[in-house]
Structure 1
Amino acid sequence: MPEAKETVLEINLGNLAHNYRYLRSKIDKEVKFLSVVKAHAYGSDSVAIAKKLEELGTDYFAVAYVEEGVRLRENGITKPILVLHPQYTHFEQIIENCLEPNLYSEKTLRSFISIAEKLNQKNYPVHIKLNTGLNRLGFDQPEISKVKELIANTSTLKIASVFSHLAASEDWQERDFTVGQIDLFRKMSWELIQDLDHEPLLHICNTSGLINYPKAAFSMVRTGIGLYGYGNDKTVDPYLKPVVTLKTIISQIRKLDKGATVGYNRAYKIEKPSKIATLPVGHADGINRIYGKEKAGVIVNGKYAPIVGNVCMDIIMIDVTGIDCEEGDEVIIFGGPQHPVKFAEAGGTISYELITGIQRRVTRKIIPE
């Protein structure tokens, strides 16, 4: 594999395929698989990821916002796309692009019916979100009768799925709460769909739910973070492969004597003669200040080099004392020999925040399967 000549985020489609097949193996063949590709496919490249997942056989996609779904449609994605958090101002755009909205409140339901009637739609696929305890979006149990009434009085909509979201499926200490959510979802969804002339898909399992509560797979599962190589569980992570690797290069190496300082606010003081390397990446690229002051480090020619001083907007400094390296050498920030979870934990955060925070000015490089 060629070395990086700039800061680059490598996206390994072979690892994506591995993760998809592993997760797919955990559910029955008749259970449908929804791939979550919101937030630029968790910080990577939503088009490249979606095209590969469509090739692999995913049944559904999910995005957070309408513009994300439109981008997929404009780039040839044909599988159904659920928009998880649509705003009613975008409902016409949803229909124009054959996207499928999550309707999570009486206002969104009434608004979408109005737009669908205006555009002469019939049996347009929508998804109904039920709140079972996460308390973000969704209808509460007392509202189900109103949902049934509104849907029964229009021919514009057809419920494609009914779903909810687990709050702590990765935490075994919250097992009773999670089981309670699953039971409540079963009751609420049955109350909603029992009088319909068709059987919508039912889904509540996210990645951790799929792994820890396979009997709650119902007729579809949703997986996001698992596809990108993270299982939210140290016993599961070894079976998954991180899809992205962030690499950069050494711009300059400087030898400093004891007493010198490095970076803004003189945040790092040299205690002994040292060799400091400068890298062209910073908090404007997604490597935030939380990783500075030796909390985290990078890999240079197989050796660990701590990040010293404050992270700058476009630059970080690392201590490469004792490491055989030169200007232009490749540096691995995370991925490969340094698991992204380890890097994120060093800064006191989680893999989700790390990988979705890599900014778009960082070049994306697709590594085919």
Structure 2
Amino acid sequence: MLNLKKVAEISQGECLGSCSGQVKYLLTDSRKLTLPEQVLFFAIPGKYHNGHAYIPALIKKGVSQFVVSELPEKQWLEKADFVKVHDVISALQSVAAWWRSYFSLPVIGVTGSNGKTIVKEWIAQSLGDTVRMTRTPGSYNSQIGVPLSVWMLSDGAQFGLFEAGISFPGEMEKLQTIIKPTIGLFTNLGDAHQENFSSFTQKLEEKLKLFKNADVVIYRNEGDWVSEKIEAYCTERKKFTWSFKEEADVEAQLDDGVLKVQYANQKLSLSIPFSDKASVENLMHTITLLCYLGYDSDFIYRAVAKIRAVPMRLEQKSGRAHNTIINDSYNSDLGSLSNALDFLEQQKQHPRKVLVLSDIFQSGYAKENLYKEVSVLVNAHKPDLMLGVGKDLMPYRELFHLESHFFKSTTELIAALGDFDLTDTTILLKGSRAFHFEEVDKILEEKTHRTVLEVNLNALTHNLNYFKSLLKPDADIIVMVKAFSYGSGSHEIANILQYHRVAYLAVAFADEGVDLRARGIDLPIMVMNPHISDFDSLVRYRLEPVVFDYGMLSSLGKYLVQQGERRFSVHLKLNTGMNRSGFNPSDIDNLIDELKKQPAMYVQTAFSHLASSDEPMHDKFTHDQARVYNTMCKKLELAFDRNIKKHLLNSAGIERFREYQFDYVRLGIGLYGISVADADLKQVGRLRTSIAQIRDVMPGETVGYGRSGEVENPKKIATIPIGYADGFRRILSNGRGKVFISGNLYPVIGNVCMDMTMIDITGANVEVGDEVVIFGPELPIEEVAGWLETIPYEVLTSVAARVKRIYVKD
């Protein structure tokens, strides 16, 4: 086992302390700590967070070993051991490269612009339990993810399978020294991250560096410049190719859903469940690798039959028993189990947590060692109940020190589900593909109609980090989660914001704050529109009200005194030109007098709203507002002889008026992907439904209420289960609105109904059940807002509560 002195030697660092401790686990994210013993934390300084800031908290939790580039204060230096290095990420990579050097086994390294993760997962599905394999969990293919993946190699592993992704020149050389693939697989060359490379040629050359010492490189021979470049690279190593049209080791032909493959003296004819080019290409990469490894046609037939679409993301949704379902059953290995358990632990909306776990087939560990490691992970996260499924898992039931029940099969589990009270729980489904946990998911999930609002938590995190990157070091973020978090779901969004350590949440009404408290949210919560009837809830749930007029000031002050409060936080709303609510500049002297009469109140912040921060034509007015606001705040601070924290900027203001950041900024619509600066934000919400019915309509007939959808030529009409009761407004009738189906926009025909809408799909090759996107990355919400003559805020908040929300996370 590795010790800290050896880490110092490997990373060419300086050891401070005894440095005699053993290292078993590597940690780069302080929020994912589960086992403080034998953990080595790498304090990585990043664009949005600096790992060094979390050292004191980790020491308090029992972590005693750190790799740092800057030493902490003396009081912490004396309580732990440190290795000081020049570059923490380089140190992490050096440790992983050292670990890799101890293993002599076949290692497959996958790179390319697209398809890396799917090809990796399909290879793992194909090989199944025939080999013990350690592979990259999820898409851990970065400068940090790769070393963490390779660290998972164990003595029982027979194969390694790792993917490598790069964004800049020079990165692949570092990953090559860690992965050291013996077999290289190149998927394709595309546009991803092209902005960081001088040419496609440079990007290709950088990616090929992964295969520097590989025995063979597997790739598609298209007879183009990419193929020629790879062939030239392979002068000192073997190449193994496949192609649809060129001479290759493995030659293929696609004919009406049947994939015909010829290799050496073997011929295969495979019926495949997809026809899109990307999936076929990914499948051929997988088959070609199996051919290179020497598997016969019978094995390949069975392997292809195992392959299933890879959703590539965790899904969170409401269950039927007032519970939450987290479905993460597209793969199961130690790395993805650890990530899923971390996500389960973040959930605070229910008092109990349940883990449903199957046998793990693709781990790289012998069974006894594997389930020892599994039990360590599960016991550390302490779910309230574990339901284990599978014959491999059952003999190790005694290792799990919690309430647990075990079943030989998913069928047995389903038959016994009624024996367990799963009400008000968060349930994690973590199973290998062979266990078909989607059947469990169907039983547990809340039944709703086919219209769904997908909320992408990765996109939300990306947007949050973008706005954080605009802030000066001493400014923090208040996030608006009012109006059901702009239609996206309050407690689910609040939960991930709490995980990412924002300073405050802000809701419109007190009952929204009460609900967040009931769901386990303990961040400070500001209530923008309190009412006198809310006072009891404000005090009981420690919600911080905004005071915007004298009536509220007086009534709340009296109530707080009656309750014996001595320092209850409130927030002052100042009117600087919005003229919606708040104290006017002329009120400031009287306001100070009244505040001094309130012994139970503590003014936490004073803030104002900008009226037109998104419109350059009103910039002079915005500067005038800021000037008035500054003047009012200075008077308050002078009167109370202390600094009062301030916030003025909304989402648009954060991007356009950085000079007015003060202590906090308020992030709202920007979190969901709306930027006035054309920043690279991700659209968080994706409203989708599906085609319920298709019919032919003849000339002279009409479509919908009022017969407004007149048909002059033969048309094909699709009915979709969404209407104005779901937020698809009636103004989108008669061609004004459009939807996105299979790469194209199709217009609404006739009037939008309450629960259904008709779409003109004449000439389209679509079928019942095909996905229909109302808004999302394919159809930007700004464009939909334009058809409605409104703003994206209204589109988001108009999605009805009856529309099911699903939260997805890569």
The runs of 5 or more residues in structure 2 that have no matched partner are 1-310, 316-447
- Equivalent-residue separation in structure 2 for 1:194 and 1:92 (angstroms): 32
Q: Which residue of 1 aligns with 2:799?
A: 358
- The match for 1:134 is 578
1:107 partnered with 2:551: yes
> Partner letter of residue 311 of structure 1?
V
Query: Which residue of structure 1 lines up, in the alignment, with residue 609 of structure 2?
Result: 165
Instruction: Give the aligned residue type for 2:557.
Output: I
76-85 vs 145-154, greater mean Cα deviation: 145-154
Mapped to 2, the partners of 1:230 and 1:150 lie a distance apart of 40
Tell whether the 8 Å contact from 1:5 to 1:249 is kept in structure 2 after alignment: no
Aligned counterpart for 2:454 among listed residues 5, 10, 35: 10
CA distance in 2, matches of 1:328, 1:154: 62
Following superposition, the deviation at residue 144 of structure 1 comes to 1.4
Q: What does 1:181-220 correspond to in 2, within 5 Å?
A: 181-220=625-664
Q: What residue in structure 1 maps to residue 236 of structure 2? A: none
On the 8 A contact 2:526/2:543 being kept in 1, the answer is yes
User: RMSD value over aligned CA atoms?
Assistant: 1.5
CA contact (8 A) 1:66 1:83 kept: yes
CA contact (8 A) 2:449 2:803 kept: no
Task: Write the letter of the residue equivalent to 1:41.
Answer: S
* Aligned residues of 2:689 and 2:771 also touching (Cα < 8 A): yes
* Counterpart position of 2:672: 228
Measure the CA separation in 2 of the matches of 1:308 and 1:188: 55
| 1:72-83 correspondence runs (5 A) | 72-83=516-527
Secondary structure of 1:49's counterpart equals helix
Tell me how far apart the structure 1 counterparts of residues 566 and 597 of structure 2 sit (CA, whole Å): 13
SS class of match (1:247): strand
2:732 and 2:449 mapped to 1: Cα distance? Answer: 23
Matches within 5 A, 1:1-369: 1=311, 6-231=450-675, 233=676, 235-236=677-678, 238-369=679-810
**Which residue identity is paired with 1:165?**
H
Moved more, 219-228 or 150-159: 150-159
Aligned counterparts of 2:744 and 2:449: Cα–Cα separation in 1: 19
* Structure 1 segments (4+ residues) deviating >6 Å: 2-5
Q: Distance between the aligned counterparts of 1:317 and 1:254, measured in 2?
A: 10
Helix, strand or coil at the partner of 1:10:
strand
CA distance in 1, matches of 2:590, 2:544: 21
How many pairs align? 366
TM-score normalised according to structure 2 size: 0.44
The one-letter amino acid paired with 1:11 is V
- Relative contact order: is structure 1 or structure 2 higher (C-alpha 8 Å, sep ≥ 6)? 1
Per-residue Cα deviation, 1:145-187 (whole angstroms, up to 9, x for no partner): 2221122123201000000000000000001111000000000
SS at match of 2:602: strand
Structure of greater Rg: 2
| Kept after mapping to 2: 8 A contact 1:163/1:204 | yes
Give the whole-Å Cα distance in 2 for the aligned partners of 1:303 and 1:31. Answer: 43
Q: Match of 1:308, SS? A: coil
SS in 2 for 1:211: helix
Contact kept, 8 Å, 2:528 with 2:545, in 1: the verdict is yes
Equivalent pairs: percent with the same residue?
A: 38
Kindly provide the CA deviation profile for residues 273-296 of structure 1, in whole angstroms up to 9, marking residues without a partner as x: 110000001000011111111111
Q: What is the CA distance between 1:343 and its match in structure 2?
A: 1.1
- Which amino acid is 2:714 matched to? P
Q: Supply the distance in 2 between the matched residues of 1:291 and 1:192 (Cα, whole angstroms).
A: 50
